[in-house]
């Protein structure tokens, strides 16, 4: 136990701070003098300014309301079988055809095309706003480059 305590105290003292810093600096100088192990080729310089952007987003494989069945909606009821059986028991005979087998204008394709149109218009609007923003920033950059004494540069 006393030997471990003595060893701990000796290690805690270590080198003086100046000697440790000098040793680190010498090691760093030695490392910098050696040629690098990996050389990365620098890209060719380009003319003008390059603007880059990355957009991350999740795109669903198909719409949520997409019908995965090949059976038309007027043949297969759009609700679970227990709901169909319940409606069959409580709906009077005169109203069963309209309740159990609803027939009408298929709205899903109409809504789908409407959603696609809105998304396309929104994408075009955002794209034009981004282009306008980049154009204005580029004009300000060129104006600052031409006259660095201008306010705001």
What's this model's pTM, rounded to 2 decimal places?
Answer: 0.33
Tell whether 139 is covered by a domain.
Answer: yes
Q: Along the 153 residues of the chain, how does pLDDT read in single tens digits?
A: 666 666 666 666 655 666 778 888 898 888 888 887 787 777 777 788 878 888 888 777 777 666 666 666 666 666 677 777 887 888 888 777 766 666 667 788 889 999 999 999 999 999 999 999 999 999 988 888 888 887 777
Range of the domain at 88: 81-146
If phi > 0 it is left, if psi is from -120 to 50 it is alpha, else beta; for residue 102 that is: beta
Q: How many domains does the chain have?
A: 1
Whole-number Å distance between alpha carbons of 71 and 81 = 15
């Amino acid at each position: 136990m006393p030997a471990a305590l003595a060893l701990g105290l000796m290690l805690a003292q270590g080198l003086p701070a100046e000697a440790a810093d000098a040793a680190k600096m010498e090691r760093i100088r030695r490392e910098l003098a050696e040629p690098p192990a990996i050389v990365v080729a620098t890209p060719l310089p380009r003319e003008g300014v390059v603007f880059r952007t990355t957009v991350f987003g999740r795109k669903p494989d198909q719409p949520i309301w997409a019908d995965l069945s090949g059976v038309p909606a007027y043949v297969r009821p759009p609700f679970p079988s227990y709901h169909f059986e319940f409606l069959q028991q409580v709906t009077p005979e005169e109203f069963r055809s309209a309740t159990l087998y609803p027939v009408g204008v298929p709205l899903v394709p109409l809504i789908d095309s409407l959603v696609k149109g809105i998304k396309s218009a929104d994408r075009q609007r955002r794209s034009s706003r981004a282009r306008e923003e980049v154009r204005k920033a580029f004009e300000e950059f060129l104006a600052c480059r031409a006259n660095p004494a201008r306010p705001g540069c």
